[in-house]
Amino acid sequence: MRWIFLLCTLGVGAAALLPLLGSAQDDEMTIRFVRDPDPAPDFQMKDVDGKPVTLAGLRGKVVLLNFWATWCGPCREEIPSLIALQKRYKDQLQIVGMLTDDDDDDSLHKVIEAEGINYPVVLATPEMRVEYGGIPALPTLFVINADGRVVQKHVGLYNPALYETEVRALLSLPVAAKVGTFEDTGEIFLKHADRASMLPGVNMMKLTAEQRTVALHKLNAETCDCGCKYTLAQCRIYDPACHLSQQRAAEIVKEASGGGAKDAAPASSDAPKP
């Protein structure tokens, strides 16, 4: 909850928490999609108006799955741009709002009506949040291609131009951007954290290749004690501010190095930047 509060208060983007995978800050935008994307977890739900919404039923369209809350300032701030995007690409794109609120239906309807939301909004169940990695921060947006596979994820408030560029690229429309790929090492789905060679706040620079392998194995085998139920590697990726996972990771690095405390000192960030 502390990360949900932080992001919704400050409106920071994923660059503050995860490796920056797509940026609109450079002179020429660069977007990146997962090289071998996983299928998006399917769901069969009803929106707040009682109409059925299924991921399988959206096959053939690009889907933006947007986890948000009515009390989240950055979530509300990006709604107008999502509305415009849905209107502009209505035949080829479907945005789905995944609401994490616990408010009553009347309150939710009032917000949706006041915002003028033109895409379906469903109440995200706890099970669905787990399927999509736990959603520890809001807003979180998953980009799903026309084949139903998750090709990107954005955490926090992003430039709307990035979303539109990604949508256009997936629709094979012209874009003023470089398009690249990357391997998911836990940024999209935590189950791939075992592929990560570096982790936020974990300094393994002085380990040998063999020692690094040993350390990464332990980091992916041991569960963090903070209560997140993630492995230490997953917790470092999803919650870099967790002192418990950082402390334990430093101990594991120290053990792998043969006891050199200097080698095990935690780094401010050792995350890869594709």
Indicate the average pLDDT of the chain: 85
Residues 231 and 143 in one domain: no
Residue 269 above 50 pLDDT?
Answer: no
Residue 269: inside a domain: no
pLDDT digit string, tens, across residues 131-182: 998 887 899 999 999 999 999 999 998 889 999 999 999 999 999 999 999 9
Q: What is the pTM of this model?
A: 0.77
User: Are residues 74 and 196 both part of a single domain?
Assistant: no
Peptide bond into 139 cis (omega under 30): yes
Same-domain status, 52 and 126: yes
Tell me, yes or no, whether 29 and 157 share the same domain: yes
Average pLDDT over residues 38-59: 94
Q: What pLDDT band is residue 8 in, cutting at 50, 70 and 90?
A: low
**Could you tell me if residue 268 is inside a domain?**
no
- Quick one: 61 and 138 in the same domain? yes
For residue 102, give Cα distances in angstroms to 105, 126, 204, 243.
Answer: 9, 11, 42, 29
Q: Is residue 21 domain-shared with residue 73, that is, in the same domain?
A: yes
In this prediction, residue 191 has a pLDDT band, given cuts at 50, 70 and 90, of confident
Q: Which domain holds residue 176?
A: 2-182
Among 116, 150, 182, residue at a domain's last position: 182
Cα end-to-end span (Å), the chain? 28
**Count of domains observed in the chain:** 2
119/232 same-domain check: no
The percent of residues above 70 in pLDDT, for the chain, comes to 84
Same domain for 151 and 206, yes or no, is no
